[in-house]
Amino acid sequence: MGETKTYAGGCHCGQVRYEVETDLEPVVSCNCSICSKRGSLLAFASPDRFRALAGEETLTEYRFRSHAIAHLFCPTCGILSYSRGTTPDGRPMVAINVRTIDDIDIAELQPVAFDGRSL
């Protein structure tokens, strides 16, 4: 398990900003219909380790299939920085799009494949 750090990130236009405490292990590469189309790499955090700093009230929400995850998009630039939902056992969680973390070097990560398409 990696070292827990506080990361800052947000959308392309800067309207949405957040901080999250996580260790970025694992980072998940999901092949479900929405993650594969947007190229997301995901890290997960409990809500107490996540802070929306700006723009949360303006986000556009999209839900599909089981409606368990609120995919939240910036209405200006269209970037999904994070989603809110529940884990399979019902606990609240925040899914961070790791690509929206400031100054992250994706090449240093080792994403773990997840077969969301089969769910």
Letter for the amino acid at 79?
A: I
pLDDT-based confidence at residue 64 (cuts at 50, 70, 90): confident
Contact status, residue 82 vs residue 50, Cβ threshold 8 Å:
yes
Q: For the stretch 92-113, what's the b/e string if a residue is b when 16 or more beta carbons lie within 10 angstroms of its beta carbon?
A: ebbbbbbbbbeebeeeebeeee
DSSP state of 58: G
Query: What is the reported pTM?
Result: 0.89
CATH of domain 5-105: 2.170.150.70
Averaged pLDDT, 43-47: 95
pLDDT for 116 equals 76
Mean residue pLDDT across the chain: 91
Give pLDDT tens digits for 80-119: 999 999 988 889 999 999 999 999 999 999 898 887 778 7
pLDDT for 68 equals 75
Give the span between the Cα atoms of 23 and 109, in whole angstroms.
11
